A and B are shown apart, each in its own frame.
Chain A
Amino acid sequence: MRLQSDQIVVESKFKGVGLIKKLAFIFMLCVFGGGKAFAALTIEITEGVSDALPIAIVPFKWLGKDESPAAIITEVINANLARTGLFAPLEEINLVAKPYKTQHINYKNWRMIDIPNLVIGRVQPAGEGTFNIEFGLYDVYRQKYITGYRYGAKTTQFRKIAHKISDIIHEELLGIKGAFDTQIVYIKKFPNSDEKPYRLYLSDADTYNEQEIMRHNWPIFSPTWSPDDSKIAFAMAGSHGQSIFLFDISKGDRPKRATDRKHKASAPSWSPDGKKLAMQVLKNGSADIYVMEIESRKMKRITRHWSIDAEPAWSPTGEQIVFTSERGGSPQLYEYRFDSGKINRLTFKGKQNLRASFSPDGKLITFVHLSQISGYNVAVMDLSTKQMRILTDSSKGESEHESPSFAPNGGMVIYAANYAQKGKQGKKTGLVAVSVDGNVQQHFVDTGVGEVREPAWSSYLD
């Protein structure tokens, strides 16, 4: 199997800067043999590593006779936990023992090296190409079994199982579910391809298992998951304007046009019940926000202003729609409240604030921020306090950050980065996941020729 050739190289650099001990932790995950993932993953941890929870993940014991297919499972778990910045997995070379059954665990060994949590497991052939994977999570100080599961899986599902195990560890130890067993949808544009250069992709949240799900000559943009993750809404621009399409990926059907041709509609955002879409509609040179009932295509106009009102984001609580408007002279974020019908301005700092997207609990928005001095960065705002935090620094080699989208646990934001390449045509692009406190960044650099854009994170898949 191709994934066996994955290699993980861990390298760490420590650098004291003033009072804050900054830690740069570079984690390269290189894929050989054309694995379907972005080719390089770099993790940059800027602060807060001292709080990371130490954990030992013992390579799962292979109980079969042939060559072991099991290594990938612990590799993925290690990589998942490390790149949240919330865990500090012990390197394999420092493991004091390699137990694979509860009765083999000598808690004292782990306590002596200050490891509070331990994961062990085993993989056993179950016939017909399937395997039983079992794992246990243990509390070293209390000398207690916390939880454990058994899965039946084929080797092609080992990454998924590893993501599920990572989610469980994350939830048990931190009280918040992980966002590992999830998917992202994104667009790639192949600038030198004459044959349908716009392509829509799905992949796992760590960019593995990339699959193209459609391609077209016309620009495809603004993909977004339905609340139940069964459909993706996206927009396409044609010679007569834009339309929104719905793609039922659970059925594998072809995408279907959802808006009438006469409307120039794009920027879809789902209502929490999945029955309506908020969208921007262009008419007489002005963009306004509309809400459409998907089934009947009945349109209701929400904003009425001669300036641009664009990029609606429907809150998960259903209380409001946040949108971009230039009614104040420059593009800024505003909210429309369904109860009062009132529109309030939300952002005041910076030259521009655009393209908001909600956290799953509806308390935060993430958006693109253009400051007076720097380029386009990703910011987060707490809607109750209106406090804004800029999460990224586009002066550090990335010329533009765009299209932020929250992870389903609200702990991270994924966005697209254009890396500056002076004097070169085309763009080097990648996806970056940044923790909501801005302390941990994971770069998924795409070394292919396609320009990656507009990632959108799914909710939990079952």
Chain B
Amino acid sequence: MKPVIKLVVAILPVLMIVGCGGDKAVEEEAAAGQEVTVDSGATTGDSVSGTRLDEGAADSAISTGVDDAAATIEEVIDDTDASAALLSERKIYFDFDRSEIKPEFREVLSAHANYLASNPNVSLAIEGHCDERGTREYNMALGERRAFSVKQFLSLQGVSNDQIRTVSFGEERPDVEGHDDSAWKWNRRAVFVYAE
């Protein structure tokens, strides 16, 4: 793929605020967003107990739930909730013997790019992995290529090369055990490891 990627910050589906908390710094807010969505979905409004929300968070989330006007959605994109959800995604996946970034992972990568660009002291290791098919050394090269195509994507969005390093594990560290595509598809991946 010719990496001519002008990132159009895609209009995020509203559901993106339903994120799984992962990153410690943003965990609370992500959790709050989730609760709100559940709450707004429950029409009776009396079945949800739990986290008490501050007024602002509740308002914006509820309004996007009922109103999909573009202006409101953009506000949500700017909200830390959405990027937190994307930042909590630490793996992207590849096709067999390919290293191009698939379109569905561009949003996730953009969130990481924004985060890294605005936090120049943070550094990231990108691990490239392969499924078990093919030879070990070729997969070592393919894993590096996958990690590097992520790195290129991030640097085109303004992340300094000094912040990113790539490492390949080839086929040595599968995420899912198994010897068919139900396992292989999860093992052809790049993993983002932020320095502690």
B137, closest chain A residue (CB): A267
Q: A330-B97, A420-B179 are in contact. Are A280 and B141 (CB under 8 A)?
A: yes
In the bound complex, residues from chain A placing their C-beta under 8 Å from that of B133 are 376, 400
- Chain A residues within 8 Å of B105, by CB: none
Taking A241-B167, A425-B177 as contacts, is the C-beta distance between A266 and B140 under 8 angstroms?
yes
B144 near A355 with CB under 8 A, answer no
B145 adjacent to A308 (CB under 8 Å):
yes
Interface of B is mostly: mixed
Partner of A399, one of B137, B149, B179: B179
B152 within 8 A of A: yes
Of the stretches A7-15, A41-49, A51-59, A281-289, the one at the interface is A281-289
User: Which stretch in B11-19, B21-29, B81-89, B168-176 binds the other chain?
Assistant: B168-176
B134 touches A284 (CB 8 A): no
Interface string of A48-78 (1 = CB under 8 A from B): 0000000000000000000000000000000
Of the residues A219, A284, A354, A418, contact of B138 by C-beta under 8 Å:
A354
Given that A284-B148, A285-B145, A285-B147 are known contacts, is A241 also in contact with B168, CB under 8 Å in the complex? yes
Contact A354 B172 (CB under 8 A): no
- How many Å from the CB of B99 to the closest CB on chain A? 8
Number of interface residues of A (CB under 8 A): 44
B144 and A282 form a contact (CB under 8 A): yes
Chain B residue nearest in CB terms to A453? B136
Q: Is B116 part of the binding interface, using a Cβ–Cβ cutoff of 8 Å?
A: no
A285 touches B151 (CB 8 A): yes
A134 at the interface (CB under 8 A from B): no
Q: Is the CB of A222 within 8 A of B172?
A: no
Q: Is B73 located at the chain interface by the 8 A CB criterion?
A: no
Chain A residues within 8 Å of B, Cβ to Cβ: 219, 221-222, 235, 237, 239-242, 264, 266-267, 280, 282, 284-287, 308, 310-311, 324, 326, 330-331, 352, 354-355, 368, 370, 376, 399-400, 402-403, 418, 420-422, 425-427, 453-454
**B residues apposed to A, CB below 8 Å:** 97, 99, 125, 132-138, 140-142, 144-145, 147-149, 151-152, 165-170, 172, 177-179
* List of 7 A-B pairs having minimum Cβ-Cβ separation, nearest first: A285-B148, A287-B141, A219-B172, A267-B137, A355-B135, A282-B144, A308-B141
